Amino acid sequence: MAKTTSFAEKAAKAMAGKKGSECPKCGEPLQNVLVITSEKNDKHGYKYNERFIKVCKCNEKEVYA
């Protein structure tokens, strides 16, 4: 039978594989946040833009404001 992998082992493996997920200024881990903005269309409607932004303690006030 195959060995089952626990959640803790999976989480440790996922965290070990992440590289470049630290802020170069403060060294805190970066968190991906989905930002949705709305822009008015020419045809009296709205268009929604979705993008991911990496947030840490350095720029969280700018992003969440």
User: Which residues in the chain land under pLDDT 70?
Assistant: 1, 16-20
C-alpha count within 13 angstroms, C-beta hemisphere, residue 38: 4
Q: What is the pLDDT of residue 52?
A: 94
* Main-chain dihedrals φ then ψ at residue 26, nearest 5 degrees: -105, -15
* 30 token code pair: 């970066």
Q: What is the pLDDT of residue 37?
A: 92
Determine the 3-state secondary structure of 55 from DSSP: strand
Q: What is the pLDDT of residue 47?
A: 92
Whole-prediction pTM value? 0.55
Q: What is the pLDDT of residue 35?
A: 92
Tokens 């840490």 belong to 56
